[in-house]
Each structure stands twice: as C-alpha cells, then as structure tokens.
C-alpha cells in the first residue's frame, strides 16, 4: 500500500449537536458508523457518554440509564458488537478504580458487572493507564499505574506489568478473571502504553502487540504475546522505530498498526541527563508497523513542520478509532513541555483515509422505465462519493416474438424441451418476458419504519462474464423490491401474524449465450462512460456522458482533477436496451476498485408492471401468499404466476443460480403454498436465511417483470442503535 498522502488529512469543520468539551485521557470505540467517547479529564473528570455519527457529522448525548459509572480517565474501553466494557481508570486525583461496567449500546443501558476472581491469585488492583484489549470472547489486561498509598492525596506510584484474562459471556455479562501462565521474558512495568491484537489472515495465531508507555522514562520497545502459546517475545523490526512515547494511540487497519501522537523527548535535551529529568513534549508524528513484515514506516516525522495546518497539531492523551479504512482522532492535550500551565486541550476532530475504499456491492435496480433506471448499491463506510459508470456498446435487445406463456427455465438456462410448455415444474418467471414499464414503489399504502434497503438476492453464473454479454430474444427486466427487517409488524393483517418478508430489487437476464466473437466483446467491455459522481448510494440514470474520441475513460477523482462534465456531451438511454453498470467508491486516497458488473434492460411500453405489496401469513395448510395488482397493468391482467425456489443438486453446486418451480397460475391475487411444497424449498443464505418466491403478471402482450420475495426464516432481529 502506498503511504497515505499528507493531503488526505481532513479536519471536520462543522458539527451539529452537543459537541463534547475538550479533554484528554478519554477513550473511544466504534460501532458501525458511530464513534462513542467516554470519560477523560479537563477541569474535572467527564462522566458523560458522547456519540458522533461519522455519516451525518452529528454529535448526540444518548439517554443512558441503569448503573451509570462514575466519570473516569485513562480507563480500559473495548467494544464487542454493540456491547461496551469499561474497566478501571482514575475516578479522582490519586484514586483509581478496578470496577467493571457493561453498556448495551442498543438500549443505552449500563450495568455494573462483578467477575469471579481468579482461581488462584488476586483480582486486578485499582489502576489507570493500563491496556484492555478484546479478542474473541476474552479481554486482555496488561500493566498500568497503581497508587501504593491508601491516602489519595499522597500518591505513591507503582508501575505494573501484571497480565489478566477476562472471559465474557455471550451477549451480556462476564465469567471471571484468570491469570494465564506465560512464557518468556515479560515486558517491564509501564503505563500509558498501547496494546492491539492482530491475527494474520488464513494462518497463525492471534498476537497482542504492546508498544511504548512510561515507567519514569518513556519507552519505545515493542513486545509480542502469542495468545495461543502465551509466549512473550520481542520481535526484530526493520525501518525507523518511532521515538519513545506515552499517551499515544495505536489503531489497526488491515495488517498495519498506526501510531499517532503522544509525549516524546524534548528536542535538544542533554543525553547525559537521567531519563527521569528529561523534558517532554507532544508530537504529531505518525508511523505504522506492518504486522506481517515487522517493518516500521514513517508517514509524518517528528521534525516535519506543518505551516499550513494541514494535519492535527501535536497532542497526547487523545483518542483514535478506525471505521472502515479511515482513522478518526478527537481532542487530546497540547503543549511543548510537561508543565501543566503550558498545556491546552484540543477541541478538534480529524480523519485520515489510509487506503482507497473497497469495491461497493453490485449496482441493484429499484425501478426501470423505458428510458431510465433508478439504481442503488450498498453504502461503503467513510467515503466521500461514488463514481457510477455504464457500458453502452451492446446491441439493441428486441422483444421476444412470443411472450404469451410463462417461460420455462432450469437454473438460469432455457430448457429447450419445455419451451412453450404449460408444465408447472421448473417454470421461471421472466426468461422471455420483455422489459415492462415499472411504476411500483416499495410498500404502497404502508408506513415503512426503516428506510428500505434494496438488494439483489441472486444472480446467474454467466451474468457477469465478459464472454456472455447479451442474450437475444430472452432478456428480461426483473424488478423487485425489498422491505427491511420489520415487515411482519408493518403489514400485519387482522388476527394474523405476518411472517417477515424481504422484497428485493434485481433486474438481470436469466439466460446467456456465448457470442460468436468473444474477442470483440472483450474489447467493447473496456468502453465505460461516466454517469456521474454521486454523494449518496442511489442514482436516477436517464443519461450518461459520451467519451471523448480516443479516450478509454474520463474519471479522475481524489488526488487528481474531477472531470468537467459540462464540457462533455450527454446521451439519453433508449428503450429495450441492455446496459451494464459498475460503481466505485471515492475517498481522500482516490477511486477504489469497481464493483462487479450488473446488467439491466430498459423497458418496452405495453407490458404489465410487477405485482406489489406481497404478504405472507401462516395457515394450517402451509402459508397464504397474496399480492396487489401492478400499479401499471398496461391493459387487462390475464393471469398471475407464482414461483418457488427449490432444492436441486444444481443449486447445491452453485447456490447463486436458483431453480424455480411454478406453484400457482390464475387470475386470483393470492394462493396457498402447501407444506409439501415448502418442504422442497431452497433456503437462500445470500443475507439472512430465507425462502424465495417470485410473482409476475401477464397481459395481452405477455408476462411483465417479477417481484421477488424473501420470506425470512428464524428470528434474527437486532435492535437498532437509537
């Protein structure tokens, strides 16, 4: 990975909500896009919990309840899912804690927990400046500073190098402390150090890395503890080791441990002085250790000046969290000497993109019309925008000569022995269905509690292959919708508990044929045109920008110039044409890799839209499946067909290639799916386990696009963060 550019630093200049007061000695963790800060000191020790939403730039103070802990500083703070644990810290000058609190962030509920003491030995003594690291169902406590005096006004410091393991219960609560027997030389006593845990991908055991800290003098040593063998060692490193420091931060992204800030030796100090007599100052130096190669890389040296204020100023006692590939830094204390009267607490928030963002999910279809697509893709955390492109070098997709019968399909391939048959076995919904104008929207006539989340649930093996770009005579526009988590509560029918349903948006051709000239196709796939750069993860596409002659691409974003779209010609989308889409995320490091390719077809007027408002309820025979007619029938609806994804050997070999069996054909907008039919259903694990149905309508021209429904199996609900 290339070193992050200094230009990638961003200061968040505007907030909303109650911004926490500047502080040091606080701690932070991340839950999804939220940065959660607790404790710290500056004119008193803070006891409030602050939350910053990195997407909306909003601070808020959650209404916490339960056994609210006292304010503390230099404490342990870890996050396990939506559970946060706080251990120890300074509760007032000279008085330290060894109490453990748990916060359920899904309910903002605090609880004081009492772990069992170790089978042999004493539990951890009160302390501050310790490290508290989580891996799996265990927390690892190392070192810190204790007060030998019982009088908090008479502080007698004792540096610690003890090591404890805390076993957690699943979801909530703890089991107890233990004192593992370790091998090798134990690191020297210290406080205000950092400890992170890293496990190399696909090999190796998890290892805890301890760096720096102080024990009268600041330290620059690196220690490694193998958590399987419990063996301590000092790895040999390459590169320039960061200066000795304490009160710095260490954050892991990928295989790199990023070290920022802290107290370091004062420039020009007399090397003959005792370490205890040295002057110390804050630093803004920034380095990382490659945990696979044990090589240090300096990104910002200690001597590097910053006259333009383009990065965080020197600080110590700040907090840092990693969200995706982005590092956030908040507050901390400044000052060129250790004397208290020369320190100022910073009240600023910075972030740094450490690498280009990952590829987003495939582009998914919300709605298709004759000359536009409404598309979306899953959000990528901590990005500044998205580049959407389409490929136009595809032949015109003509309508099928006969769309009067429900098509027959086996696993995404046309079954030539069943073409035109009325058999109810292995019939699919849209192999010969032409692209209909689709006007439906999610959950018509209902109130949606959560924002709809549109996802494609299945795709065909040949769909994204460069050797299978088109399918003459049998492409389709399958337009589906998704209802998020709570569909059973939103769509409850009288006296009936509705099962949870997800309805997904996906448009893809079901049958692919290998072209006669794959080399030519590979060449045309290179011709991608920009649709534009979008702030959010949705786009209404009716035009795209034409490439300048002789250009393969026009997109330059991030560290390069943004294209001037005003100088480029636009091209409208046309009916009955297949377009390929891909999307890439953008952050301060530039444009990330593109998503997998999706393929959608603009609609041809005259075909019915997809059925809407699908409901599923249990009854004695199995389940009752019902739906509303299309909002745009384009004539009289002659019949509906419903299909069930079934288990086959083919699906087991390729789970992404579903096989459907027709379970209903008729004029009614409901049907019974028997227990016998459900017993043969395929369970789709694309996201949460679900049984998949498809429903389509037919008018005089033929079958229109299908609505795909995922009937969720089991109760996997999680309470959202409020």
Report pLDDT for 368.
75
- Range of 117-126, 555-564, 595-604, 675-684 with top mean pLDDT: 117-126
Between 416 and 56, residue with greater pLDDT: 56
- Is residue 394 within 8 A of residue 579, CB to CB? The reply is yes
> How confident is the model over 194-241, as pLDDT tens digits?
999 999 987 779 999 999 999 989 999 999 999 999 999 999 999 999
Backbone torsion region of residue 184, taken as left when φ is above 0, otherwise alpha when ψ lies between -120 and 50, otherwise beta: left
Q: Map residue 679 onto helix, strand or coil.
A: helix
Residues belonging to the chain = 722
Query: What element of type H or E holds 322?
Result: strand 319-323
Q: Which two tokens stand for residue 297?
A: 């890389």
Report pLDDT for 471.
29
- Residue among 314, 319, 259 nearest 286 (CA): 259
- Is residue 440 within 8 A of residue 695, CB to CB? The reply is no
Report pLDDT for 342.
57
Query: Angle CA(66)–CA(72)–CA(76) in degrees, nearest 5?
Result: 90
pTM over 0.85: no
**Distance of alpha carbon 27 from alpha carbon 90, whole angstroms:** 13
Which pLDDT band, with edges at 50, 70 and 90, does 686 fall under?
low
> How confident is the model over 28-53, as pLDDT tens digits?
999 999 999 999 988 789 999 999 99
- Is residue 51 within 8 A of residue 62, CB to CB? The reply is yes
Residue 44 CA: distances (Å) to CA of 54, 77, 92, 155, 578: 27, 19, 8, 18, 64
* Beta strands per DSSP E along 655-701: 659-666, 670-674, 683-684, 690-699
> How confident is the model over 364-374, as pLDDT tens digits?
877 777 788 88
Number of H helices, E strands in the chain: 4, 52
**Distance of alpha carbon 686 from alpha carbon 364, whole angstroms:** 14
Query: Angle CA(226)–CA(230)–CA(231) in degrees, nearest 5?
Result: 70
- Is residue 299 within 8 A of residue 259, CB to CB? The reply is no
Between 280 and 127, residue with greater pLDDT: 127
- Is residue 510 within 8 A of residue 657, CB to CB? The reply is no
* Beta strands per DSSP E along 331-489: 333-334, 344-345, 349-353, 364-368, 373-376, 385-391, 409-410, 413-414
pLDDT greater than 60 at residue 484? no
> How confident is the model over 511-528, as pLDDT tens digits?
333 333 333 333 444 689
Query: What element of type H or E holds 202?
Result: none
Say which range, 322-326, 653-657, 686-690, has the weakest mean pLDDT.
653-657
**Distance of alpha carbon 644 from alpha carbon 621, whole angstroms:** 16
- Is residue 363 within 8 A of residue 582, CB to CB? The reply is yes
Which pLDDT band, with edges at 50, 70 and 90, does 609 fall under?
confident
pLDDT greater than 50 at residue 616? yes
> How confident is the model over 163-203, as pLDDT tens digits?
999 999 999 999 999 999 999 999 999 999 999 999 998 77
Report pLDDT for 306.
84
Which pLDDT band, with edges at 50, 70 and 90, does 505 fall under?
very low
> How confident is the model over 431-458, as pLDDT tens digits?
222 222 222 322 222 222 333 332 333 3
**Distance of alpha carbon 603 from alpha carbon 468, whole angstroms:** 21
Query: What element of type H or E holds 570?
Result: strand 570-572
Which pLDDT band, with edges at 50, 70 and 90, does 341 fall under?
low
Report pLDDT for 220.
97
DSSP H helices, 586-690, are: 649-653, 675-679
């Amino acid at each position: 990975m290339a070193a992050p550019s200094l230009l990638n630093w961003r200061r968040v200049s505007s907030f909303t909500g109650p911004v926490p007061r500047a502080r040091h000695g606080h701690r932070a963790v991340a839950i999804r896009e939220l940065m959660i800060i607790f404790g710290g000191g500056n004119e008193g020790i803070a006891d409030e919990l602050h939350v910053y939403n990195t997407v909306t730039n909003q601070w808020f103070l959650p209404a916490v309840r339960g056994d609210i802990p006292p304010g503390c500083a230099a404490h342990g703070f870890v996050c396990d899912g939506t559970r946060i644990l706080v251990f120890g810290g300074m509760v007032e000058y000279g008085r330290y804690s060894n109490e453990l609190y748990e916060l359920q962030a899904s309910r903002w509920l605090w609880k004081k927990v009492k772990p069992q003491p170790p089978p042999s030995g004493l539990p951890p003594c009160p302390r501050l400046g310790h490290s508290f690291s989580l891996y799996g169902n265990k927390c690892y406590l190392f070192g810190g500073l204790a007060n030998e005096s019982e009088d908090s006004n008479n502080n007698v410091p004792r540096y610690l190098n003890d090591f404890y393991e805390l076993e957690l219960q699943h979801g909530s609560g703890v089991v107890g402390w233990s004192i593992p027997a370790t091998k090798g030389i134990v690191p020297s006593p210290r406080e205000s150090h950092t400890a992170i845990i890293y496990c190399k991908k696909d090999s190796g055991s998890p290892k805890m890395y301890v760096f720096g800290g102080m024990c009268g003098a600041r330290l620059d040593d690196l220690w490694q503890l193998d958590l399987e063998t419990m063996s301590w060692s000092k790895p040999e490193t390459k590169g320039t080791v960061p200066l000795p420091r304490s009160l710095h931060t260490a954050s892991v992204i990928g295989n790199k441990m990023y070290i920022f800030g802290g107290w370091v030796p004062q420039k020009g100090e007399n090397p003959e002085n005792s370490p205890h007599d040295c002057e110390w100052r804050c630093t803004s130096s920034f380095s990382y250790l490659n945990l696979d190669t044990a090589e240090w890389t300096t990104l910002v040296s200690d001597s590097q000046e910053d006259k333009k204020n383009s990065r965080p100023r020197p600080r110590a006692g700040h907090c840092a969290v990693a969200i995706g590939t982005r590092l956030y830094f908040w507050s901390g204390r400044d000052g060129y000497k250790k004397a208290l009267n020369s320190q100022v607490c910073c009240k600023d928030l910075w972030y740094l993109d450490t690498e280009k963002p990952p590829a987003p999910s495939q582009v998914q279809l919300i709605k298709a019309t004759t000359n536009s697509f409404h598309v979306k893709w899953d959000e990528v955390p901590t990005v500044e925008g998205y580049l959407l492109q389409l490929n136009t070098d595809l032949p015109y997709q003509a309508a099928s000569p006969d769309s009067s019968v429900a098509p027959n399909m086996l696993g995404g391939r046309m079954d030539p022995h069943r073409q035109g048959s009325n058999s109810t076995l292995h019939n699919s919904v849209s192999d010969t269905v032409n692209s209909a104008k689709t006007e439906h929207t999610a959950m018509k006539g209902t109130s949606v509690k959560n924002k709809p989340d549109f996802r494609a649930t299945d795709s065909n093996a040949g769909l994204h292959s460069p050797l299978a770009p088109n399918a003459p005579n049998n492409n389709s526009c399958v337009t589906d919708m998704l209802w998020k988590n709570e569909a059973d509560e939103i769509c409850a029918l009288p006296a009936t508990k509705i099962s949870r349903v997800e309805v997904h948006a996906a448009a893809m051709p079901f049958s692919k044929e290998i072209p006669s000239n794959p080399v030519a196709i590979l060449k045309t796939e290179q011709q991608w045109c920009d649709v534009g750069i979008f702030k959010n993860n949705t786009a209404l596409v009716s035009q795209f920008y034409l490439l300048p002659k002789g250009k393969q691409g026009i997109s330059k974003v991030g560290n390069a110039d943004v294209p001037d779209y005003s100088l480029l010609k636009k091209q409208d989308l046309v009916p009955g044409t297949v377009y390929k889409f891909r999307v890439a995320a953008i952050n301060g490091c530039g444009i990330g890799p593109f998503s997998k390719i999706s393929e959608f077809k603009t609609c041809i007027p005259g075909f019915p839209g997809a059925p809407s408002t699908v409901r599923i309820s249990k009854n004695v025979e199995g389940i009752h499946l019902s739906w509303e007619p299309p909002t745009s029938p384009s004539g009289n609806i002659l019949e509906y067909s419903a299909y069930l994804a079934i288990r086959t050997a083919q699906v087991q070999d390729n789970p992404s290639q579903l096989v459907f069996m027709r379970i209903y054909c008729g004029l009614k907008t409901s049907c019974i799916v028997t227990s016998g039919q459900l017993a043969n259903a395929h369970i789709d694990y694309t996201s949460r386990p679900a049984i998949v149905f498809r429903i389509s309508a037919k008018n005089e021209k033929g079958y229109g696009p299908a609505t795909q429904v995922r009937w969720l199996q089991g109760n996997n609900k999680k309470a959202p963060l409020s």
